[in-house]
Structure 1
Amino acid sequence: MPTIRKNLLQLLFSGAYLLRWNDKLRPVELQEIDKQAHKMLLACALWQENSRDMPAPERTALGQKIIEGGLFDYFYRCIITDIKPPVFYKIKENPEHYRQLTEYVLGRLEPVLAPLGPFWERMRAWHLEGAGEDSLDRRILTAAHLYASQWEFQIIRPLNGFDDEMDSIGQSFVERLNTLRGLRGMDSLLIPGTALARFANLCGQLRFQIRWTQAPRIPATSVLGHMFIVASLGYFFSLGVGACPARSVNNFFCGLFHDLPELLTRDIISPVKQSISSLPQLIKEYEEDELERRILGPLRKEGFGELVARIAYYLGLEVGSEFQECRREAGAVVAVDGFDELQRRYNRDEDDPKDGQLLKICDWLAAFLEAHSSIRNGVSSPHLVAAEARLKGKLNESRLEPVLQLEALLADFD
């Protein structure tokens, strides 16, 4: 069974420190973890479109390959972050040089990822064997990667007119994305103004929403980066509890989408939400109305009904909360009475199960990492210290602590 340790959490969080385009003039800091979240949101949309006609087991298997491939690439990039893309692509053209670089990267990652057992072995095979470069999962990930990178490029381009690299970089994005137009959904994604392009743009904007606005932190993580951390933790804990493939996939994407409504309302801190008894329900109703008006309705109108249904499932719209365990029965979404019942009775692909409590714990754990990291970096405040202690207490006292061994994990952070 995979073992979740402090060094894995630190590796996951390290993308919050890694700056992108750091040799260019930037209007805002662009962080690796935000780009990875944007990439995986787009990969989810492309997965849905390109697996429409697949049997459920094949569809789930493709989803798991996309998730793990995204994580494999992310961990690799955390090590090679200082290598500029043109240099990296040049290295990749020489099989021997690329193999040597990859062996070095895997050597750095092994102490952290080897405790994950089969996941680590699959990662080694992904990078060393390099088979199936034209496989559907890799093409989807490449398309999502290029789109998310191009989205960032469009932000910095107007400020870098003096830079003679900008034209060639821009043309390279266009050429490489055009080679992937064979994927379903790519034409819609690449045409400005379509519902899918607007959805992709809105997702990218979540990098501008900084969490904990009343408590300055280093690093100042965004809502988008937080979503990626929750998704990754959800996936690794799913492996840890022996979740079936469909449940593992659902948990990753639920974590990835869980704060999407904050695009419409901003990140409202808990004390404000609780200041008026009716405010949480009012916020939720507003979020759902705006989700329908700005995201789900337009996507449905342009033929992306299956994607809308999956987003609704991840957000728990049919059962009242993204943190409510649920499953599917005869096409309908049904609430499940807690983690224990889901684990005991519905941990099967045919039930399309999704966790709730487990993902809430991942949300708390990601917030704990954000507070703890800033305090250890020397940027603290009474609010941040109190939040770290409160989150640690909630995690240690949670009903799933014995299952997830949270107390032992958090003890490493003392």
Structure 2
Amino acid sequence: MITRSLIELIFSAASIERWNDHPRPVQFTEMAKQAHKFVIAYVIGRYEEDRGAKVDWNAIIEGGVFEYLHRVVVTDIKPPVFHRLMANEPQRKDLNRWVMDRLYPLLSPLPGGVADRCRTYFDEDDHRVEKRYLQAAHYLATKWEFEFIYGWSRPIFHIERTKEEIERQVKEHMDIEGVRQLIMSDSLPESDRGLAGFISLVGQLRFQKRWAQTPRIPQTSVLGHLLFVAVLSWLVVLETGGCFRRRYNAFYGGLFHDLPEVLTRDIISPVKRSVEGLDQLIKELEMEAIATDVLPLLPESWHPEMLAFVKDEFENRIWPKGQTTPTILDQDIGGDQDRDELNPIDGRIIESCDKLTAFIEASESIRLGIKSNELFEGKRSIYMRYAHKCVNDYPVGILFDYFR
């Protein structure tokens, strides 16, 4: 069973500031950085698939989650020091053992040997291409951040050395065609940037705050929220024993479910419900914005999947091969629907995890002493809806009880 301690570790990345020894125009957090990394890894993986490469998406998702947890545990080590430690084999193994001593108890309650696979992931010096995709995505996300930092940090000693090091790390992955194309197109006019423009557009969700009108600790961005939902949805489907496509869709459905907010901003539920028909009108405007501003940045062959992630995002669906759009189900996914060939999408689990993250955000702020009527009312209404709920045969109410 997913434990409270594991959820707290995942959420703690929202409090970890990046570049906190540099002047910054905004706060950069580890959670948002990791979310951006996953989006970039998705773009690289899909691009390489289009070129005929075989991509193990389970390795990208699971490996990315392992790396995320690893980074949270060693957050006090500055990146230059961390990279030097990881480059030294004896020190790397010692550090990884220390990290696993802390992660193993949190991962061992999960089914399918997840904890052992995490240990193996850091013990073995394998050369799987998916690890390089994740590394490239990591450095590209760092480069995207640094371009904001650089303009503010020109007087800082060694800032040019930092710039050169980031550029060197990116260049080491230029043999990956998807990376090379992203770097080349990044300097093109906005109308021609394509996938580089998509990555930049998604990155802007770092600047949009959740609960924007309510003071909270920690503040969370929409981009960080997307990763929180993605990881929790993936963990829940993993616990149900869901097939590979279910797990894939749970993760990326969670990662992209609020993508329209890069164009419409985060509109809180009470506002959406305040006027009859407003919620539906907002959805229509969001889909119009996706069609005009997002899809043109992506290869046409990617459009159906992206639309499947952002349209009817909280409905259970199946999407068999050859069918142009998913079929909405009025029932839980399980049994006959839990098959790779039906490509099931757990919209109700993604919705439950979306509400769970909001519940945790409110609970943690209240616990830390930043309170408001909006936080108390939001927490109360969410708990009333999910306290005893079972979704797709999973007792999600237990996860809400952790933070009651």
TM-score using structure 2 length: 0.94
Shift of 1:241: 0.8
Aligned to 2:202: 203
Aligned to 2:174: 181
Q: Are positions 1:235 and 2:238 aligned together? A: no
**Residue pairs, 1:258-277, within 5 angstroms:** 258-277=257-276
**Residue pairs, 1:86-165, within 5 angstroms:** 86-117=80-111, 118-132=113-127, 135-165=128-158
Supply the distance in 1 between the matched residues of 2:138 and 2:309 (Cα, whole angstroms). Answer: 22
Q: Which moved more, 1:164-173 or 1:244-253?
A: 164-173
- TM-align CA RMSD: 1.7
Aligned to 1:378: 369
What 5-or-longer segments of structure 1 have no aligned partner?
A: none
Local SS of the residue matching 2:150: helix
Shift of 1:339: 4.8
Shift of 1:352: 1.6
Supply the distance in 1 between the matched residues of 2:125 and 2:260 (Cα, whole angstroms). Answer: 37
- Aligned letter for 2:378? A
Supply the distance in 2 between the matched residues of 1:339 and 1:253 (Cα, whole angstroms). Answer: 21
Local SS of the residue matching 2:318: strand
Q: Which moved more, 1:331-340 or 1:382-391?
A: 331-340
Supply the distance in 2 between the matched residues of 1:164 and 1:157 (Cα, whole angstroms). Answer: 12
Quick check: 1:215–1:381 contact (8 Å CA) kept in 2? yes
Supply the distance in 1 between the matched residues of 2:290 and 2:39 (Cα, whole angstroms). Answer: 16
Quick check: 1:195–1:295 contact (8 Å CA) kept in 2? no
Supply the distance in 2 between the matched residues of 1:208 and 1:363 (Cα, whole angstroms). Answer: 19
Quick one: which of 171, 179, 184 aligns to 2:164?
171
Aligned to 2:400: 410
Supply the distance in 1 between the matched residues of 2:322 and 2:16 (Cα, whole angstroms). Answer: 42
Shift of 1:330: 4.2
Aligned to 1:30: 28
Local SS of the residue matching 2:145: helix
Shift of 1:184: 3.4
Local SS of the residue matching 1:326: strand
Q: Are positions 1:307 and 2:302 aligned together? A: yes
Shift of 1:397: 4.0
Supply the distance in 2 between the matched residues of 1:406 and 1:177 (Cα, whole angstroms). Answer: 41
Identity across matched positions, percent: 37
Shift of 1:345: 1.7
Shift of 1:82: 1.4
Quick check: 2:197–2:297 contact (8 Å CA) kept in 1? no
**Residue pairs, 1:208-357, within 5 angstroms:** 208-299=207-298, 304-316=299-311, 321-332=312-323, 333-340=325-332, 342-357=333-348
Which structure is richer in relative contact order (CA contacts within 8 A, separation 6 or more)?
1
Shift of 1:102: 0.9
Supply the distance in 2 between the matched residues of 1:148 and 1:31 (Cα, whole angstroms). Answer: 12
Local SS of the residue matching 1:274: helix
Aligned residues: 396
Quick check: 1:36–1:74 contact (8 Å CA) kept in 2? yes
Supply the distance in 1 between the matched residues of 2:379 and 2:48 (Cα, whole angstroms). Answer: 42
Supply the distance in 2 between the matched residues of 1:295 and 1:254 (Cα, whole angstroms). Answer: 16
Quick check: 1:199–1:295 contact (8 Å CA) kept in 2? yes
**Cα distance change of structure 1 residues 339 and 74 upon mapping to structure 2, 3 Å threshold:** farther
TM-score using structure 1 length: 0.92
Quick check: 2:250–2:345 contact (8 Å CA) kept in 1? yes
**Cα distance change of structure 1 residues 269 and 140 upon mapping to structure 2, 3 Å threshold:** same
